[in-house]
Structure 1
């Protein structure tokens, strides 16, 4: 599809850093200054960041949530990481990972799919789960798509007027894929903008809504359940059972980072997995190691392979 004439602000990518001893001192000084400014000016602005291998990508909360939904749909279909990278690069080009209700001619949604071209109704296309499935339906029909250049694979699905434009998003899409598939542990973190759990309007969260969203996006094989801890959904990191430790770890982080990406809309207070924890009340600190029963801790960090998602009261 042609790219809309006016598109929202693109994600911002920060490049690889090669540190020397002197540069390290400068970074320490910058970090100290940043901490001082934070204390003076208050919490960091709301948004999300993916950081891995020296690269960083800044996203809005909506962009991160949409990317996480695309990744969940890919996971529900058992697709390889390359499929997700192609999908994310396509959405970055077509809509900047925004679920747009407008576009060129009748183009809509994350992938700017057109009702007049048989992609579905307007309402269907504006459903990120539906539109992601439609994109993947087209991609899996492309013979050898995992071996094709990204521009070629994306163009076979989209039939865009600007096929080479997808290439400029491949690096960002690869970085996002590494985080959202769980290959890079704790690579995605979001800030609430107020370092509070109720910044999404002050209303309480709903564990039933979290469970429904998890099941719809990741598929029925997922087995979320009510946890013994109040207002908490627990999800096994190995839904099929018998998975290797590395696969369980990867799937656990896939789920955990999905929850953080959707924290604003689902009113998530805390996400924990593998001894690490993200808390809305301290979102500016990102993922932190859980205190195993020490001062200020209500319980030890469990090593039971469960991803726990706690909503605001």
Structure 2
């Protein structure tokens, strides 16, 4: 057998380097989109089944995912619908409300006004965009039992339909937390001081009325927040003390920086923005199984 040339002997090594570079590139992309943030940067973390952090997101990504879930909840849709919608938004926009896209595509789902999804203002409204996505999803017979990529493609008509599948695991993880099925699974970290500075030296931006308005807009009239100055108490109906309570607590968590929610208490757990690095802690105060309590800055 003829002896291989020096160049030929090098090729496997070069191929290995090329493969490594490709993997590093893909890993860097995943890290940039949904990977761990430095612990001193504002972020939200989702815990896996073992209680350890399995996924991190920027604050706007978590807030948008919570909105997608809330809109599904307002319509009585199952967790599978939430998983499909979140995976789709992960692929289309990295869960960011984009004001640009391919041709006239806009928003979380890169919906095109020219294709009948709504006006540019509507499709860049996360509540409207999520509702428009679900309007088309529920028209698909058997979507709950379909492969995620098939259901998403039936709605989106993407040029790259197989790409939705790669987000299914993380979308399911987020859906489990945001629907309240997984208790104390979502926690966020941000600086109270920095937010107060942006608000003008500690002046509150918004208050209970603003929290109430956003909850009702996303969840519908079934949510009845009550409360006085500096606080919001969300009462739960009988039988809602488990997943519904955590659904609302996690929604508040995802929107906490935006709305200035510095403390969330539910059941025997409490989260405080001033010690957010500790995540949810056992609550030494009297439990609040029948309500979710939100203290505002």
TM-score normalized by structure 1?
Answer: 0.80
Structure 1 ranges of 4+ moved more than 2 A: 6-9, 193-203, 301-304
Give distance in 1, aligned partners of 2:62 and 2:78. 20
**Structure 1 counterpart of 2:203:** 203
The answer to whether 1:305 aligns with 2:290 is yes
* Aligned residues of 1:207 and 1:233 also touching (Cα < 8 A): yes
- Give the match's secondary structure for 2:242: helix
Q: Which residue of 2 aligns with 1:217?
A: 218
How far has the Cα of 1:289 moved from its partner? 1.2
Matched, 1:251 2:244: yes
Structure 1 residue aligned with 2:272: 279
Instruction: Tell me the distance in 2 between the aligned counterparts of 1:75 and 1:199.
Output: 35
Q: How far apart are the structure 2 equivalents of 1:174 and 1:162?
A: 21
Query: Which residue of structure 1 aligns with residue 170 of structure 2?
Result: 172
Q: CA deviation at 1:275?
A: 1.7
SS at match of 2:64: helix
- Secondary structure in 2 matching 1:209: helix
State the Cα distance separating 1:222 from its structure 2 match.
1.2
Post-superposition shift, 1:100? 0.2
- Counterparts of 1:164 and 1:237, CA distance in 2: 40
| DSSP-derived class of the 1:306 partner | strand
Aligned-partner Cα distance in 1 for 2:171–2:57: 12
Whose helix fraction is larger, Structure 1's or Structure 2's? 2
Which one of 144, 148, 151 corresponds to residue 149 of structure 2? 151
- What TM-score results when the alignment is normalised by the length of structure 2? 0.84
Partner Cα separation in structure 1 for residue 46 and residue 31 of structure 2? 19
Q: Which runs of 5+ in 2 are unaligned?
A: 1-28
Q: Which has the higher contact order (CA 8 A, sep 6+)?
A: 1
With over 3 angstroms needed to count, the CA separation of the structure-2 counterparts of 1:8 and 1:50, relative to structure 1, is closer
Q: Distance in 1 between matches of 2:147 and 2:97?
A: 26
Residue 18 of structure 2: aligned partner: none
SS at match of 1:151: helix
For 1:69-88, what aligned pairs fall within 5 Å after superposition? Answer: 69-88=67-86
Task: Tell me the residue number matched to 2:33.
Answer: 10
- Cα distance, 1:80 vs. partner? 0.4
Distance 1:304 1:171, change over 3 A: closer
Distance in 1 between residues matched to 2:102 and 2:30, nearest whole Å: 11
Q: Which moved more, 1:200-209 or 1:262-271?
A: 200-209
The answer to whether the aligner puts 1:237 opposite 2:230 as a matched pair is no
Once residues 191 and 221 of structure 1 are traced to their aligned partners in structure 2, the CA distance between those partners, rounded to angstroms, is: 29
Q: How many residues align?
A: 264
Q: 2 CA distance for matches of 1:194 and 1:234?
A: 21
